[in-house]
Structure 1
Amino acid sequence: MATFEKLSFYSLLALIVWLPIPLGSNRDWAWSIAEIWIALQSIMLIIAYRGNLPFEPLKQYKTLLFGLMTFQLWVFVQTLPIHWEWLSILSSKSAEIYQLVGAPEGFISLDSRMTLASLFKGIAYTMLVFNAIFLVNSSKRLKQVVLIIVISGTLQAFYAAMVVLLDITESPVFGFTEKGIATGSFVYKNHLANYLMMALCMGLGLIATQLHTSPSDSRFVFIKRLLEGILSRKMYIRLCLVIMVIALVMTRSRMGNTAFFAATAIGGIIALVFYKNKPRALTALVGSVIAIDTIVVGALFGLENVKQRLVETSLGAESRDQVVIWSLDIIKDFPFTGTGMASFYTIFPMYSKADIGFYDHAHNDYIQFMVEAGIPATLLLGIVVLYALWRAFSTIRTRHSKTMKGIALGCIMSIIGMLIHISVDFNLQPMANALTFILILFLANASAVLPATGKLVTIGSSQRSKHYVESTEHV
């Protein structure tokens, strides 16, 4: 049965790498593969535990689980047919629209089929968190998950950069037209930029787990540590970060680059002020990323193009700000219930006041979630994210484990970067980005509760009783 458990864990690692490959899993056939994958992974876990899953660890993640499960329950309610009288009370505007077209029954959602598809995606997200809680039960596995995120980001970055540098005009696999801008296996450059931002931040956290906290008492010790660092896995990870920064700059994503630099700077300041037993090399790490990667590498591979795009940005030339403004009217009409998940493209044409082209997303996930899910449900998800951010902050401030503090730092930077980037784009819509971000929220919680060494072990010969083995944390 341990074999099924290991297979399930390896399938989790493989899924992380797979998610961005089929167009960011942002097509119905692609996210269906991921949903089936997660379902099979769950079945393997049930078989591994012989149906007696240990529910004790779930208590450590109750806020994350409660938020995700409650949100999916609300999305389910959005898809239910509701009697006209009740629908008029819950969402008078939805009842009015359905009655206007002579529909035999009404829903909270104005596109119940797309909302149902969104519900299946949401259930898959929640199931993956359950699976991760059972599978990622040790500091070793925690680092493996982070390492796989970095490897996946590096593979995407290398592929994207090669397509641009080799001047390939058509993507080798899906045949999309390439325009000299890095997109990787994503369709939209900002989605790649967002994915690389998360992988970069987690990579920085991974390097922080390997930094020495004790001072070098002599020149010999300093030189020895320097050589060890050059020859260690840390240098491979550093090289991965350089490759990802090159690709990030090549995306020419204004807010993608801005979000990463801001997340690095803010996260670095937080670490320098609050990091317990702060490694001396932490300052050099943060400084090198900002200085060397962004100035030297960026100058060679196109940072000037990003800067030029920022300078030329004009609210008069951009129509996305107009979409956000008009979407506020939708929120006023559907403040509590929303229009149904994945229904933005259906409802927005009713509120558009000019011909600005087709918009299937609001280019602002805060606005889109309030439009589709309503203000209360959006605030619920906000609480889940901020709570994960707080737990990661508490970890770097109070724990002694280098592993947990480093991973928590990476989570802090990733969450800050995501909160910045989604203010101008729809990065939580592709499954690859959304599921990776949810995994990062899980990692932020896990870094606060998992023991620095040891793992979830079986008591006795049966697997009915399990518990966490706590041990002394490494300083």
Structure 2
Amino acid sequence: MNRIEKFTFYSFLALIVWLPIPLGSNRMWAWSIAEMWIAFQCLLLVIAYRGKLPFEMVTRYRILIGGLVLFQCWVFIQTLPLAWGILEAVSGKSAEIYNLVGAPEGFISLDSRMTRVSLFKGLAYTLFVLNAIFLINSSRRLKLVALAIVISATLQGFYGAIIVLLKIPESPVFGYTQSGVATGSFVYKNHLANYLMLSLCVGLGLIVSQLHVSESGSWFTRIRRLIEGLLSGKMLIRLCLVIMVIALVMTRSRMGNTAFFAATTIGGLIALLFYKDKPRALTVLIGSVIAIDTIVVGALFGLEKVKQRLAETSLAGESRDQVVIWSLDIIRDFPFTGTGMASFYTIFPMYSRADIGFYDHAHNDYVQFMVEAGIPATLLLGSIVLYSLWRTFNTIRSRHSKTMKGVALGCMMAIIGMLIHISVDFNLQPMANAATFILVLFLANATAVLPAVGSLPVKVTDSSKYTNKVKVSPDV
């Protein structure tokens, strides 16, 4: 194994853990660090493969990577200065606004500077997936990446819960005021809740991938398996899930908790109906997550307060629904081109009809993407997500590999949870959440195409030729 390539993979794992630490990578200095980190990994891969990357591996992910590339091309077009005739033909409303302020040139984007910033973030996401394609090339590495997500979220959950339980008034590092709800190293509680929800689903899939699929056997065999399970790494992952559930409840996030409960319920039912060679313990595991984690553990650490917030929620007391309604007018004026990525806070005050405070996001990522990118580009991204969701379903229904089916189930639940949660919040805006979700989409596709045994393309001669070095994997 090329040592540089191996170092790059462990750097990739470290990046997964790092992303949420600096305020969810939701500050320019923080996401700039991540962008440089990703670019450095690309450089290391070029060095490891001596400039001849095995691009045939990319074809197995052509829908995912192709969709991301096309979207970034569109964002790039939004930042280009256009002749007035072309701009009027493409986006008459944008031309009208630029003419109104006497601008010397016009763009599709109404905030071209911030759209360029968004473009660099989007390119980093695309390179992040490209790095994952070259690095995550075996079932063992697939499990290590899933484990890195679980470890990262466990650290976030433990840190967030401890801050609340010890009633520390300010966060130790950045000095943000703590209001009695878990935020971890994020600034916004719903972003932590979303990150925990994604990671919980991936962790649950990781446990499923380790369940026995053989016959139940005698009582002696069952007891032996029970003891083995209690002493195995599977139990450590289970404890990590408990910590994450505690922190998720302590965020007091209404939709974060609802999304997790709905995702595990829907994903669990799909697994029980379609899972190929279903383990006997699968029903017990899903039931325990819903019953023990959500109800028992949640009752001890504040689920009642989450229920109270849900009960007290009303449209009369919320202004976020007005933001969504008024944002529909923006979509009506810019249906095809959008106003430019990251331009919502610039354009929304023009459409606000009352003093409801400052909103830099729509609190609905479906609406915000249609506002900023336009309806066609939003549908492009949506098709990638739905395609990945479909691949997870095909994997759990048709593959024999325990690892692939288990991780695919976790990815399915994570995607379902994210689709629910972004309907009321802006969870795709922080880099930590967006990159983790994109990684989940990659894993969803990887479970469909990676072999059950380790198949690593490695360099074997100085003439830069490659071959498949196959090794037996414990995966079944």
TM-score, reference length from structure 2: 0.98
> What SS class does the counterpart of residue 108 from structure 1 fall into?
coil
Q: Deviations over 1:40-63 (max 9, x none)?
A: 111000000000000111110000
Matches within 5 A, 1:313-332: 313-332=313-332
> What SS class does the counterpart of residue 455 from structure 1 fall into?
strand
Give the direction of change, closer, same or farther, for the CA distance of 1:91–1:460 in structure 2 (3 Å limit): same
Residue 198 of structure 2 corresponds to residue 229 of structure 1: no
Residue 159 of structure 2 corresponds to residue 156 of structure 1: no
Alignment: residue pair count: 475
Q: What amino acid is aligned across from residue 19 of structure 2 in structure 1?
A: L
Q: Deviations over 1:373-427 (max 9, x none)?
A: 0000000000000011111111000000000000000000000000000000000
Counterpart in the other structure of 1:166: 166
Matches within 5 A, 1:94-109: 94-109=94-109
Cα distance between partner residues in 2 of 1:468 and 1:77 = 42
Counterpart in the other structure of 1:402: 402
Cα distance between partner residues in 2 of 1:8 and 1:79 = 33
What displacement does 1:458 show?
3.2
Cα distance between partner residues in 2 of 1:400 and 1:350 = 55
What displacement does 1:109 show?
0.1
Counterpart in the other structure of 2:202: 202
Q: Deviations over 1:144-184 (max 9, x none)?
A: 00000000000000000000000000000000000000000
Q: What amino acid is aligned across from residue 205 of structure 1 in structure 2?
A: G
Counterpart in the other structure of 2:212: 212
Cα distance between partner residues in 2 of 1:156 and 1:454 = 31
Q: In 2, are the aligned partners of 1:246 and 1:297 still within 8 Å (CA)? A: yes
Q: In 1, are the aligned partners of 2:49 and 2:459 still within 8 Å (CA)? A: no
Counterpart in the other structure of 1:182: 182
Counterpart in the other structure of 1:19: 19
Cα distance between partner residues in 2 of 1:382 and 1:426 = 16
Counterpart in the other structure of 1:345: 345
Unpaired segments of 5 or more residues in structure 2?
none
> What SS class does the counterpart of residue 157 from structure 2 fall into?
helix
Counterpart in the other structure of 1:386: 386
Q: What amino acid is aligned across from residue 295 of structure 1 in structure 2?
A: I
Q: In 2, are the aligned partners of 1:56 and 1:467 still within 8 Å (CA)? A: no
How big is the alpha-carbon RMSD for the aligned residues of Structure 1 and Structure 2?
1.2
Q: Deviations over 1:157-216 (max 9, x none)?
A: 000000000000000000000000000000000000000000100000000011001122
Cα distance between partner residues in 2 of 1:458 and 1:111 = 45
Q: In 1, are the aligned partners of 2:458 and 2:469 still within 8 Å (CA)? A: no
What displacement does 1:471 show?
7.4
What displacement does 1:468 show?
7.7
Counterpart in the other structure of 2:288: 288
Counterpart in the other structure of 1:250: 250
Counterpart in the other structure of 1:117: 117
Q: In 2, are the aligned partners of 1:451 and 1:473 still within 8 Å (CA)? A: no
What displacement does 1:280 show?
0.6
What displacement does 1:457 show?
2.7
Q: In 2, are the aligned partners of 1:452 and 1:471 still within 8 Å (CA)? A: no
Matches within 5 A, 1:69-80: 69-80=69-80
Q: What amino acid is aligned across from residue 13 of structure 2 in structure 1?
A: L
Cα distance between partner residues in 2 of 1:295 and 1:413 = 19
Give the direction of change, closer, same or farther, for the CA distance of 1:327–1:231 in structure 2 (3 Å limit): same
Q: In 2, are the aligned partners of 1:54 and 1:466 still within 8 Å (CA)? A: no
Q: What amino acid is aligned across from residue 451 of structure 2 in structure 1?
A: P
Q: In 2, are the aligned partners of 1:67 and 1:380 still within 8 Å (CA)? A: yes
Residue 380 of structure 2 corresponds to residue 418 of structure 1: no
> What SS class does the counterpart of residue 416 from structure 1 fall into?
helix
Counterpart in the other structure of 1:464: 465
Q: What amino acid is aligned across from residue 320 of structure 2 in structure 1?
A: R
> What SS class does the counterpart of residue 457 from structure 2 fall into?
strand
Q: What amino acid is aligned across from residue 217 of structure 1 in structure 2?
A: G
Q: What amino acid is aligned across from residue 92 of structure 1 in structure 2?
A: G
Q: In 2, are the aligned partners of 1:451 and 1:469 still within 8 Å (CA)? A: no
Report the identity percentage: 75
Cα distance between partner residues in 1 of 2:3 and 2:335 = 49
Q: In 1, are the aligned partners of 2:2 and 2:459 still within 8 Å (CA)? A: no
Cα distance between partner residues in 1 of 2:390 and 2:470 = 24
Q: In 2, are the aligned partners of 1:183 and 1:189 still within 8 Å (CA)? A: yes
Q: What amino acid is aligned across from residue 115 of structure 1 in structure 2?
A: T
Counterpart in the other structure of 2:431: 431
> What SS class does the counterpart of residue 315 from structure 2 fall into?
coil
What displacement does 1:473 show?
9.0
Q: What amino acid is aligned across from residue 30 of structure 2 in structure 1?
A: A
What displacement does 1:6 show?
1.0
Residue 371 of structure 2 corresponds to residue 368 of structure 1: no
Q: In 2, are the aligned partners of 1:17 and 1:152 still within 8 Å (CA)? A: yes
Unpaired segments of 5 or more residues in structure 1?
none
Q: Deviations over 1:342-361 (max 9, x none)?
A: 00000000000000000000
What displacement does 1:3 show?
1.5
Cα distance between partner residues in 2 of 1:197 and 1:95 = 42
Q: What amino acid is aligned across from residue 395 of structure 1 in structure 2?
A: T
Q: In 1, are the aligned partners of 2:2 and 2:458 still within 8 Å (CA)? A: no
Cα distance between partner residues in 2 of 1:274 and 1:262 = 18
Cα distance between partner residues in 1 of 2:310 and 2:475 = 45
Counterpart in the other structure of 1:309: 309
Counterpart in the other structure of 1:299: 299
Cα distance between partner residues in 1 of 2:55 and 2:468 = 10
